[in-house]
Chains A and B, each alone.
Chain A
Amino acid sequence: MIGSIIISFALLFNIIAMIMYYLNFKGYNNTISYARIFFHLTSIFVIVASSFLWYFILTHQYQYKYVYSYSNNSLSTGLLFSSFWGGQEGSLMLWILFTVIVGIFLQSYASKRGDLEPRVMSVLTLALTFLLVMVSPWFKNPFEIIWTTPIFVELKSINSNYLSLPFLQQYWFSVPQTNANFIQVSPALYASLVQNGIDPNTFIVNGRGLNPQLLNFWMQIHPPVLFVGFAMATVPFSFAVAALMKNEYKEWVSQSFPWLLAGTGILGLGIMLGGYWAYEMLGWGGYWAWDPVENSSLIPWLIGVAAIHTMIVQRRSQNTSGGIGRFAKTNLILSILVYILVLYSTFLTRSGVLGDASVHSFVDPGMLVYLLLLIFIGSFTLLGLGLIFYRWKDLQSEVPNDESLLSRELSLFTAAVTLCASAIIVFVGTSAPLVGRSVDISFYNEMHIPLAIIVGILNGLSLLLKWKITSTQELLSKSVIYVSISVVLTALLILIASITDIMMVLLALSSIFTIIVNGEIAINIMKRNLDRLGAYVAHIGLAIFILGVIGSSAYSKEQTLNLVKNKTVEAFGYQMMFTGYEPIENGSKYAFNIKLTKDGKSYNAAPVMYIAEFNNSLMREPSIIVLPTKDIYLAPLSYDETGHHNHSENLKIEKGKSINYDNVIITFENFEMDDDVMKAMQEGRDFQLGASLVASLEGKNFPFKLFRKQVNGQVEFTSYESKDLNLRFQLVNLSTQGVELKISKLDEPIHLTTDKSEEVLVVNASIKPFIGLVWIGVVIVVSGFFIAFSRRLKESF
């Protein structure tokens, strides 16, 4: 109850703050202090609500549906903290929390800059209103009480003291196939409990917990960083709309710039942390799979980076020619798009429209949320782009574009256009599921290789060009040295790494060119002014990143290995030996130890497999050996104690049921049991259990019997061969669940348990050359963003 009340109040206060800010913008001077009070009240209430959610999770208050659904008693404190954003409701709450924190800083920033505050803050509070409505008690409320709508709760989650209550039978459900038992928790049960004097809050004592794929370190880092990026995207939008409200386009650029830099820096970091998570823990094999959910946060990032480049031009031309500067409209549109695309990303991932297209599963949120999200996107698009349309005439008064073709202005603009082109490609591909289509990964890759080459060239070229105009001669004489060094280095690279693909050669060349040009400038600047390093650092980082991408994806090698225990297999020049497995993490998982040796050096890898209780599925975690020039990536596939039993198939048949195998109907009719089997079993004497079956083909019936024999403690299974059917039926297992048969064709060789001692671990081994450059590149890019941020923050005063 308390959580919902706090959220409702936060929403109310926020609406008041929004109205007060707007009235202040409209000229009511006395409303500003109320607006501030109510905004800060909103912030406090949101922070308190979030603290309550954390408190409820940490103290296992399973009467809250969210706490029950995404946490349990066995999670560590760190993971309990991250249960906060384990589901939809909580991740919305996290987004709101960060938007509010960003809002607090923004309010303080804006209040020092003239009449900026009421405009910027009325936009931010408007966004906050939509977000708060989404977590309000009518929509995706994280504080929903579990008793309000019927939900099935597993027996193990229920206080065992109450299981004997007679009225509980009414709410008891069991699934026959799996023998799982559930209690339907519902308002009716709540009433029954209260009637019998039982505190309903003590009824549920454990939760369902998190999906095992989320149970690791990166779950605690990646989502929050991403959501800080999302929250910060509100700011450029707010500044752009604020400028349009006032119809004044000069100041907002330098005011918004540091926010945009910090926001895109953090968003980029968040995206790549997700990539690292996927690579290191989830065993997806790579850091980027062009999954719609990954893509949808990449699109706003690309647009944000494009905006950074055109904003530099606008600021520059404001200083040199006065007026509002070049690309005023472009910058407004891009800044607005950043947030709209963040909302679109949310829509794609949360509305259920991606359904089958993404590995990130989200529940269908219901029609109301779907509509609300559409209204959210619709009204923000209308507000932002509508205002630009409304002000279009006033925006025409920009500086005449007097720069020449060979100018830094135009090359920065071209860079922005290239980034937008990339964003459009990702947008089209990612939105394809909306029309029932999906694009192959090759669509993204083929389109992006030429774009990445252009980006590489521009990253170097734009810095060789001067503002306004550069003579062709000057450019040529300046660039000849850089180009020749780059060509020599690329040639060396081609020789060493034997790169033959022309596109990869060009990509490597353009990246090396970027590094040489930016590196030289960076070294020169470093002596004078560290502040100005941001752009060069980011560009060098990007080029290093691209070199890493070339190495790790275009030159990655992959092989599936069958590692027989204690036998050496050679792959990629390494001697690999599976030495056995051991339980880890209190026996919940198994580590499969592999010893690798090469040139007398040895390395140990231990990929992990386990059956997750949460979803009763086999889960796998890769093991990575990080070497200076490459990663050796070992993803486990399967572990087999007998080696071969794969060439024929296992069929399970329940008693009284039939199964179709190659048009042969096989029916398991009955168990064959001697009278003293039970007694024999209990006494540990030898016994046999049988099954009578009938195989029928085209009306002909072939009855047969199979036995499970226990002789001197050893279990044996019999088989039956039928020449008429050309089939051999080997009993594999017989239990109360039914029979399990292995059926094979008589004229095909059979591989039964020939060598019982053989233990085989199957792994997918791959070599990822220079993947380390990807991570190093990302770190350098992000630090570039922050160096630029600190410089532009100083300039914004």
Chain B
Amino acid sequence: MKNKYIFGGIMIVLFLGIMGYLFTQSNIKYENNFALVKSTNKTVKATGSWVKEKSYSYDSGNNLFQFYMKDQNGIEMRVVYRGAMPNNFESASSIVVTGSYQDNYFYAKEILTKCPSKYQEQQKSTSM
């Protein structure tokens, strides 16, 4: 009887231990301050918006998509992504890029676009 509980206990501790370890290894922090994003080369999820006024390009030869992003404080950074401009990109109200900042570029492994389901806020800020 007792052995069973000890065995079960060990299994639980082992499981939680492995999970905790992997969690600390693979967890990624959200960051909406690009000053901090630029200060580290750790992988982060940087949230901000696309700077539409600035240039963007897609290099089909190398399958590289480049654009500028800015955070709430207006700090900008240049993002490079291996892939094409994602669906919904042009209309995205905010963008989350996962990757790390190195040598003046943010290398994004993943781009997630958030779409405004309601357009009210946007119009308010531009028309009043």
> Could you tell me which A residues sit within 8 Å of B by CB distance?
69, 87, 150-152, 173-177, 182, 211, 213, 282-283, 355-359, 361-363, 405, 421, 424-425, 428-429, 432-433, 436-440, 442-443, 446-447, 560, 562, 615-620, 637-638, 640, 644, 646-647, 649-652, 659, 661, 760, 762, 764
Q: Which residues of B contact A616 (CB under 8 A)?
A: 90-91
Q: A618-B90, A644-B60, A651-B55 are in contact. List 7 more A-B contacts (CB 8 A).
A: A424-B19, A428-B23, A438-B98, A617-B88, A637-B60, A637-B63, A638-B85
Judge whether B87 is part of the interface by a CB distance below 8 angstroms: yes
Within the complex, what minimum Cβ distance (angstroms) separates A535 from chain B? 25
Please, what's the 1-or-0 string for B46-65, where 1 marks a CB less than 8 Å from any CB in chain A? 01000001111111110100
Q: Which residues of B contact A562 (CB under 8 A)?
A: 60-61
Within the complex, what minimum Cβ distance (angstroms) separates B60 from chain A? 4
A440 touching B123, Cβ below 8 Å: no
A87 to B26, CA, bound (A): 33
A363 to B96, CA, bound (A): 16
**A439 in contact with B123 given A424-B19, A617-B89, A646-B60 (CB within 8 Å):** no
Judge whether B6 is part of the interface by a CB distance below 8 angstroms: no
Within the complex, what minimum Cβ distance (angstroms) separates A644 from chain B? 7
**Residues from 31 to 89 in B contacting A, C-beta threshold 8 Å:** 43, 45, 47, 53-61, 63, 66, 83-85, 87-89
Please, what's the 1-or-0 string for B95-128, where 1 marks a CB less than 8 Å from any CB in chain A? 0101000000000000010110111100100111
A173 touching B27, Cβ below 8 Å: no
A650 to B23, CA, bound (A): 42
Within the complex, what minimum Cβ distance (angstroms) separates B27 from chain A? 5
Q: Which residues of B contact A355 (CB under 8 A)?
A: 114
| CB-contact partner of B27 in A69, A150, A443, under 8 A | A443
Task: Tell me if B's interface is mostly helix, strand, loop or mixed.
Answer: mixed
A782 to B20, CA, bound (A): 33
A764 to B90, CA, bound (A): 21
Q: Which residues of A contact B43 (CB under 8 A)?
A: 440
A549 to B112, CA, bound (A): 25
Q: Which residues of B contact A182 (CB under 8 A)?
A: 123, 127
A617 touching B60, Cβ below 8 Å: no
Within the complex, what minimum Cβ distance (angstroms) separates A182 from chain B? 6
Q: Which residues of A contact B117 (CB under 8 A)?
A: 87, 361-363
A152 touching B120, Cβ below 8 Å: yes
Q: List 18 A-B contacts (CB under 8 A).
A: A69-B118, A152-B123, A175-B126, A182-B127, A362-B117, A428-B23, A432-B23, A438-B27, A438-B28, A440-B28, A443-B23, A616-B91, A618-B87, A638-B60, A644-B60, A646-B61, A650-B55, A652-B55
B60 touching A760, Cβ below 8 Å: yes
Q: Which residues of B contact A361 (CB under 8 A)?
A: 114-115, 117
A-B pairs with lowest CB-CB distance, top 10: A637-B84, A615-B91, A646-B59, A649-B55, A440-B26, A443-B26, A173-B127, A560-B63, A762-B60, A356-B96
Within the complex, what minimum Cβ distance (angstroms) separates A92 from chain B? 15
**A649 in contact with B57 given A356-B47, A424-B19, A439-B27 (CB within 8 Å):** yes
Within the complex, what minimum Cβ distance (angstroms) separates A269 from chain B? 26
Q: Which residues of A contact B60 (CB under 8 A)?
A: 562, 637-638, 640, 644, 646, 760, 762
A291 to B56, CA, bound (A): 28
B87 touching A646, Cβ below 8 Å: no
Q: Which residues of B contact A87 (CB under 8 A)?
A: 117
Within the complex, what minimum Cβ distance (angstroms) separates B54 from chain A? 7
Within the complex, what minimum Cβ distance (angstroms) separates B104 from chain A? 11
| CB-contact partner of A421 in B15, B91, B118, B128, under 8 A | B15
B54 touching A647, Cβ below 8 Å: no
B23 touching A363, Cβ below 8 Å: no
A150 to B123, CA, bound (A): 12
A659 touching B119, Cβ below 8 Å: no
